Structure 1
Amino acid sequence: MSDEVRPGFVRVRLDLSYDGAGFSGWAKQAGGRRTVQGEIEDALRTVTRSGGTTYELTVAGRTDAGVHARGQVAHVDLPREVWAEHHTKLLKRLAGRLPRDVRVWALREAPAGFDARFSAIWRRYAYRVTDNPGGVDPLLRGHVLWHDWPLDVDAMNEAARGLLGEHDFAAYCKRREGATTIRTLQELSLARGEDGIVTATVRADAFCHNMVRSLIGALLFVGDGHRPPDWPGKVLAAGVRDSAVHVVRPHGLTLEEVGYPADDLLAARSREARNKRSLPAGGCC
């Protein structure tokens, strides 16, 4: 694959968000399941009056069913004449065509070398959980997990520090043939807000399948006292899936932001990422 845009086409960056509850993940699937990619591509085809032509999106992070996004990034290559004709009104037309649980906030011509997936240098997720004995605020129930044991956030942070850095996260990932599970975990920290909700911030160069939700599952076992703070690190070092590590439910997880280097470094970053790993179709986190 090349980052070169085909002659006569323009690469367009899209910044978007969605509530994942009603979607079977980001990526299009067989069987007519509703996906974020499918909804946006259908809307784009309609508002550009492209008939049977679908312009396929490439996304920074393929989220699983039920996972939300506030700061997702994608790109699409459009014929130059289509972009020239529609770009001034495209954002508003998409707002009128898309369902209410997905929004495109910005559309702009991408700089040279930009690839929404491979140019990214980090993705930042947040996982939200409450240990309130009464449960979750009904207005937040679609975005916050209820854990019915009191959580020791200090113990969870102690455990999290032992997971930082570059490691083979095979113990926390669902393996996919031909895909590496080596990742650099740049940040993993937890804080309890004034509302009592514990928010885990998780940032890495990339994530393999189920990685974030597995990490949170391990930290919850530490937080509620079922495991000591050194246990998640021991699981990591063992390098194999541990049946005690639960993949927590997806609705507490939100992709918050994707980071990119300066424009003149985009192409180099994309080449580096392509050489380092190959992720087949499927979900993440």
Structure 2
Amino acid sequence: MNIPKVAEHIIGWLSDYIEQTGIKGMVIGISGGIDSAVVSALCARTGKPVLCLEMPIHQVLNQVSRGKRHIEFLKERYSNVKSLEVELTSVFEEFVAQIPPVQGNDLALANTRSRLRMTTLYYFAGLYGYMVVGTGNKIEDFGVGFFTKYGDGGVDVSPIADLMKSEVYKLAEYLDILPEIRQAAPTDGLFGDNRTDEDQLGASYDELEWAMKFSENKSEEDGLSLREKQVLSIFRRLNRINQHKMNPIPICKIPKEYINN
């Protein structure tokens, strides 16, 4: 991968989109993770206004501190970057207080956190005439569907959605993203603990990238190791059950003869 060319292409793509649409700038949620760090750095390099939002909800402290240090890193280098912290813990707690108590609702509440953040991003986007910039990569968005529908999946543009996670790391190194972010284990941070993406998915991103490419190439499975077969099974199961996230919502088409009568 020609990393400088890829970075230049994404920066140009974002700039062109802003100029063509008349949008005034970009807003992006900063999590302390590699994807939001890379995307926000690419946005900053456009020279257009960038608003970085921290939106903690019972967030683990090391995730919050990484996010803060990344924002300071951006603001020291790019005068077009501004930031705000919107503490959403009390908003989330009030929501929890209003719904019936149910056992086994951890995932539903985790997704609620993501959707509260999406709502916050769009509030500021509407306030300033900005667009919400997504941080999903190819394996998350189109491989295993590891995102929240109408949460972190609710965005206006997706600048790194055609890049594998491994390629995002290469961009991070090129963009001089802080080592502590590049070295941190990927996590969605939606459960208020230190569980990693690999803990949730059952496989590493490198393994899932292999499985995605293997499936796309329709390769023969003879000779695969036990672990490779396990990873392939994990990838195919997640890809299948999360198609509702990756495909457009179904629309009930009304027969023309019903409408014209």
Pair in the same fold by TM > 0.5: no
TM-score with structure 2 setting the length: 0.22
Q: Going by fraction, where is strand more abundant, 1 or 2?
A: 1
Between Structure 1 and Structure 2, which shows a larger proportion of helix residues? Answer: 2
Higher relative contact order (CA 8 A, sep 6+): 1
